[in-house]
Chain A
């Protein structure tokens, strides 16, 4: 329990400064970039409205639930489907506060990639959406502006004094926004702390979520569950620290905030099954590809500067054309092992299927793979990256002794 509280406090310490700044900037954006401006740019034809809606959506501090009524009203006012879908993706997928929290928790590389990925996702799905023919629904009672009783499809604003603006910014930043995402944020933190604290969860993640299965988990979990973009960050951080594939973590970061089971139902009701299917399929494919792209960029190995655990035994393994040294590699069952992998010549891949290890060994670099040999026996080590004409015969043996 103590460890659990310690982790919750650690995350709070990490994210509270970022949240405070992020919420304030979100309040400014909310006050000075009103919805009518967004609408002005969504109605036009071509790729420009898609770009506008994606970029605006990237910074707007609205969750997937908050995005829905806006998108529905745009839809009823006759905006093209492409910009609407871009908006539906880019807006909940990230926000200023989410980007700041991501920077403080996950670092610059993750944050820059999220920003880039959300734009790619929004633009691609928008372009797909523009190819679909559909008829917008008519205007209803609720489309009348509550302040001036004008048809809200006409772009208009309500004047405020500077004092009213300051109050409005602060109210949105520190009352409405925390009310909107506070519960999810808290749940996200609790989930993150649980993942980090519970040893069995960590084991499960290392066993099943370090490979390609993690992508399936991310897609299903991300589509069904709702976690806001800011709350997803600590959860993904803890999953990755427990051994989840970073690419799948990125997929979860991208898809998780965009949809939930509830939003899917609303989408189906408002936009129809065809649009929902296209939205979901394209969102899934693109977020998977972007996750894989991130994994490729990161490489599959642990970082060289990662600190070694004190009770882990380090074992050297050298790959060369076309074999491994030592061969056989002998280790003891039940003893945590850290493979220190190097390459003598070209890039090789060290793959041990039974222990879910697949690490690239680049020449001049050191890669690491940690695992707990729980099963005694003889296992094959194969090279998983093409390294020359003898690649097909390159193998070694791992012996795990009782």
Chain B
């Protein structure tokens, strides 16, 4: 499979299906609603504003992540609002022609700011996530992002006697952190990006744990993208 986004979409579908027996019908409609809406909105924006016809594969992944992480008991309007925010951010917030914020994370960050519960239902099987995620990180050349994150998050947590493995989100690391377009390429850049995310995650967990620390940390790391681009690959 040349386009690895299909693998990501298949992994997300599998994780979604695994969770269905526990969560029921509303969860099915919630996730499918988020995916369809995100895909349609992205297709519409590309067609009407940018006069391009593109199969919205990235938007499908964005829809899966937003709806899979956001609590599915919330109002439908909330799902639409944050999926739209995620997709629109990709087209509006750009630096040197490409977006700097992971779209799904952007939407989720604002959901977290509004104190909406992020239940991360999509993280239904960590073994599947780690296996496929390692393959994706290797293929996308993002292993150093993961290494930077883990090194800083685990070391800092150990200093204050917190077992980092008890709170780590593998879904966040292998699906959200290594998103190809918004996490930068190159060994040094990747490591620095991962380190910023790891350090921010730890600091937020330690000092402001009331806000979702992974989502906020990735938002912070993404904000560093324009500076990180100055680092040679």
Contact = CB atoms under 8 A, between A and B. Distances in A.
Interface string A358-379: 1010100000000000000000
Given A353-B74, A386-B118, A392-B19, A292 B113 contact: yes
Contacts of A386: 118, 120, 167, 169, 212-214
Which of A358, A388, A389, A392 has its CB near the most chain B CB atoms (within 10 A)? A392
Interface string A369-402: 0000000000010111111110111000000000
Nearest to A387: B167
Contacts of B162: 346
A299 B209 CA distance: 9
A199 interface: no
Given A211-B115, A296-B113, A385 B170 contact: no
Interface string B109-130: 0000111111111111010000
A389 B168 contact: yes
Contact of A384 (B71, B121, B166): B71
**Top 5 A-B pairs, shortest CB-CB distance:** A384-B117, A347-B209, A360-B210, A212-B114, A351-B117
B120 A392 contact: yes
Interface string A100-133: 0000000000000000000000000000000000
Contacts of B117: 349, 351, 358, 382-385
Given A382-B117, A388-B168, 14 more contacts: A215-B114, A289-B113, A300-B210, A349-B117, A351-B71, A353-B71, A360-B210, A382-B73, A383-B117, A384-B115, A384-B118, A386-B169, A387-B167, A392-B19
Interface of A: 211-212, 215, 289, 292, 295-296, 299-300, 321, 345-347, 349, 351, 353, 358, 360, 362, 380, 382-389, 391-393
A321 B73 contact: no
Contacts of B124: 392
Given A349-B117, A389-B123, A382 B71 contact: yes
Contacts of A296: 113, 208, 210-211
A385 B212 contact: yes
Contact of A391 (B19, B120, B210): B120
Nearest to A358: B115
Contacts of B73: 353, 380, 382
Q: Looking at B117, B169, B212, which has the most chain A CB atoms within 10 Å of its CB?
A: B117
Contacts of A380: 73
B115 A300 contact: yes
Nearest to B121: A392
Main secondary structure on B side of the interface with A: loop
Interface residues of B, number: 32
A291 B208 CA distance: 16
Contacts of B119: 382-384, 391-392
B167 A346 contact: yes
Contacts of B121: 392
5 contacts: A346-B166, A351-B117, A362-B209, A384-B116, A384-B117
B166 A321 contact: yes
A274 B116 CA distance: 34
A295 B118 contact: no
B166 A299 contact: no
A251 to B, nearest CB: 12
Nearest to B120: A392
A386 B169 CA distance: 8
B76 to A, nearest CB: 14
B131 to A, nearest CB: 15
Interface string B166-193: 1111100000000000000000000000
Contacts of B71: 351, 353, 382, 384
